[in-house]
Amino acid sequence: MNARLRWRKLVSAFMLTMTGVCAVVAVAVLFFILGYLVFHGGRSINWDFFTKLPTPVGEGGGGMANAIVGSAKLLFLASLFGVPIGFFGAIYLAEFSGSKTAFVVRYAADLLNGVPSIVIGIFAYALVVLPFKHFSAYAGGFALGIMMIPITLRSTEEFLLGVPNTLREAAMALGASKWKTIATVIVPAAYRGILTSVLLAFARVAGETAPLLFTAFGNRYWSPGFNQPIESLPHMVYIYAISPYEDWQRQAWAAGLVLLGLILIVNIVARFILARGVAVQRS
């Protein structure tokens, strides 16, 4: 009996230690990456990094201003394309569709979410790059936008469904039409959640490289407008990191750090918005 108890305590201690170590490892990975990026990239981050164009090999200095602006442009286009589709699609799913349609659309959205990003890049290449015969910001934004659709759609739907039915009834009993109920009660009640999901979708695609390889392509110089090949931060990391030049490698670390910092900020802002209190009272 005593030996049995000892054995049980041993197993318990082992399992507790193991699960604890796994939890620590999960968190540590993030801090390890952060620390590594700061260590290697921190030195290369200076004012020039944000304001100057890349310099030719061997010249030293220079920055990634074009990639930073390029990423902003691409993400702007992606949001313009992906967010409305995800948002209105979610409204249809949550408020109008029957359960069968909703099931099919949800399932499709989940599958789309699982499609490898490189495949989405090929798709955008075939659909936008080939017909116009050149790479462009439009093509890159389109590819990233496609990736934003399922993320926005699914999480917006969740937040809309979280609005209690009693609020829908209250509005409709006052003579509000279905559309008015959605626009004046349901979406305002869920807006924090919706905003959060849009920000998370944004942060998710901000670091994507693969869909941009043969859509936005990359550009060593400024890219005026939206109809020319354009540089982006993740693509810059890719190019610079595999280059044989130490100077470029250091800048790749710096670009990675800037990118990660941006994504972290967006994430934190999103959580902050959501944590400022759930807008809807639950009984």
Partner 1 sequence: MPGSARSAVTVNLTPTGVINTSRETAAPAPMRMTISKVNFFYGTKQTLFDVNMSVAANRVTALIGPSGCGKSTLLRTFNRMHETVRNARLEGEILLDGQNILAQDVTQLRRRIGMVFQRPNPFPKSIFDNVAYGPKINGSKDPIAEVVERSLRRAALWDEVKDHLHKSAYELSGGQQQRLCIARGLAVEPEVLLLDEPCSALDPISTAKIEELLVQLKDSCTIAIVTHNMQQAARVSDFTAFLLVGQLVEFNPTPQLFTTPSDPRTEAYITGRFG
CB of 168 to partner 1, least distance (A): 7
Six-digit token string for 121:
């890049």
Closer by beta carbon to partner 1, 189 or else 210? 189
Closer by beta carbon to partner 1, 192 or else 204? 192
CB of 163 to partner 1, least distance (A): 9
Max Cα separation, the chain?
79
CB of 272 to partner 1, least distance (A): 19
Closer by beta carbon to partner 1, 242 or else 275? 275
Which residue in the block uniquely carries the two structure tokens 């090949």? Answer: 229
Closer by beta carbon to partner 1, 98 or else 224? 98
Closer by beta carbon to partner 1, 189 or else 257? 189
The H or E element containing residue 248 is helix 246-275
3-class SS of residue 260: helix
Return d(Cα 67, Cα 218) in angstroms, integer: 8
CB of 196 to partner 1, least distance (A): 16
- In 184-218, which positions are buried (b, 16+ CB within 10 angstroms) versus exposed (e)? ebbbebbebbbbbbbbbbbbbbbbbbbbbbbbbbb
Closer by beta carbon to partner 1, 17 or else 177? 177
Six-digit token string for 56:
């030719």
Phi-psi region of 111 (alpha: psi -120 to 50; beta: other; left: phi over 0): alpha
Residue type, 151: I
Binding site for partner 1 (CB under 8 A): 98, 164, 166-177, 180, 184-185, 188-189, 279-281, 283
CB of 270 to partner 1, least distance (A): 20
CB of 180 to partner 1, least distance (A): 6
Residue type, 65: A
